[in-house]
Structure 1
Amino acid sequence: MQDNKTNIEFLLAEIEALKEKLYESNSIVDAIKDGDVDALVVNTNGTPQLYSLETADYTFRLLIEKFGQGALSISRNGLILYCNEYFSKLIGLPSEKIIGNYIYEYFDNDNNFVSIIEALRYGVTTHEIVFKTVNDKKTFPANISLTDLEPAVQGIGVVVTDLTDKKKHEDALLNNQKELEEKINELNKTNANLEEFIHVISHDLKEPLRKIVMYNGRIDGSYLTEADTKSMNVMKVSALRLNSLVDDLVSYSSHTAQEERTKLNLSEVISEVTDDLEIIITDKKAEIKIGKLPVLKASKVQMRQLFANLITNAIKYCKPDHPPLIEISQIDNFESEIPNQDSQFIKIQIKDNGIGMEKTHLLKIFTIFQRLHAKNEYSGNGIGLAICKKIMENHSGNITVESNLNEGTTFNLYFPIV
Structure 2
Amino acid sequence: MIVNDKNIDSLLAEIESLKQQLYESNSIIDAIKEGDVDALVVNTNGTPQLYSLETADYTYRLLIEKFRQGALSIAKNGLILYCNDYFAKLVNTPSEKIIGNYLQEFFDNPSQFATLIEGLKLGLGTHEILFKSDGGSPTTFPAYISLTDLEPSVDAIGIVVIDLTEKKKHEEALIQHQAELEGKINELNRINSSLEEFIHVISHDLKEPLRKIVMHNGKIDGTYLTEIDAKSMNIIKFSVLRLNSLVDDLVQYSSHTKQEERGEVNLAAVITEVIEDLEVIITDKNAKIKTGNLPVIKASRVQMRQLFANLISNAIKYSKANVPPVIQILETNATDVEVPQQNSKFVKIQIKDNGIGMESSHLLKIFTIFQRLHARNEYSGNGIGLAICKRIMENHSGNITVESTLNEGTTFNLYFPIV
Q: Is the 8 A contact 1:335 1:342 kept in 2?
A: no
Identity %: 73
Distance 1:271 1:314, change over 3 A: same
Q: Is the 8 A contact 1:266 1:293 kept in 2?
A: yes
Give the aligned partner of residue 257 of structure 1: 258
**Residue correspondence of structure 1 range 8-407 to structure 2 within 5 A:** 37-38=37-38, 68-92=68-92, 95=95, 98-114=98-114, 116-117=116-117, 125-134=125-134, 138-150=139-151, 153-332=154-333, 334-336=335-337, 344-407=345-408
Aligned residues: 397
Q: Is the 8 A contact 1:36 1:58 kept in 2?
A: no
1:259 CA displacement: 1.0
In 1, Cα distance between the equivalents of 2:154 and 2:367? 75
In 2, Cα distance between the equivalents of 1:208 and 1:293? 44
In 2, Cα distance between the equivalents of 1:311 and 1:342? 29
Question: What amino acid maps onto 1:348 in structure 2?
Answer: I
1:131 CA displacement: 2.0
Q: Is the 8 A contact 1:331 1:349 kept in 2?
A: yes
Q: Is the 8 A contact 2:351 2:411 kept in 1?
A: yes
SS at match of 1:128: strand
1:116 CA displacement: 4.2
Question: What amino acid maps onto 1:393 in structure 2?
Answer: E
In 2, Cα distance between the equivalents of 1:306 and 1:339? 20
* TM norm structure 1: 0.82
In 2, Cα distance between the equivalents of 1:184 and 1:255? 18
1:416 CA displacement: 0.8
SS at match of 1:297: strand
1:168 CA displacement: 1.3
Q: Is the 8 A contact 1:133 1:139 kept in 2?
A: yes
Q: Is the 8 A contact 1:131 1:141 kept in 2?
A: yes
Distance 1:261 1:339, change over 3 A: closer
Give CA deviations for 1:187-243 in whole Å, capped at 9, x if unaligned.
Answer: 121022112112212322211111111111122223322222222211111111111
SS at match of 2:397: coil
Question: What amino acid maps onto 1:77 in structure 2?
Answer: N
Q: What RMSD, in angstroms, separates the aligned Cα atoms of the two structures?
A: 3.8
Distance 1:370 1:66, change over 3 A: same
SS at match of 2:261: coil
Distance 1:36 1:259, change over 3 A: farther
Return 114-123 or 201-210, whichever deviates more: 114-123
Question: What amino acid maps onto 2:409 in structure 1?
Answer: G
Distance 1:84 1:342, change over 3 A: closer
Question: What amino acid maps onto 1:329 in structure 2?
Answer: L
Give the aligned partner of residue 409 of structure 1: 410
Give the aligned partner of residue 44 of structure 1: none
* TM norm structure 2: 0.82
Ranges in structure 2 where 5+ consecutive residues have no aligned partner: 42-55
In 1, Cα distance between the equivalents of 2:291 and 2:165? 63
SS at match of 2:355: coil
In 2, Cα distance between the equivalents of 1:269 and 1:142? 62
Return 322-331 or 340-349, whichever deviates more: 340-349
Give CA deviations for 1:91-140 in whole Å, capped at 9, x if unaligned.
Answer: 34565553333223433444544554466567664432222344565532
Distance 1:377 1:310, change over 3 A: same
In 2, Cα distance between the equivalents of 1:353 and 1:373? 18
In 2, Cα distance between the equivalents of 1:393 and 1:216? 41
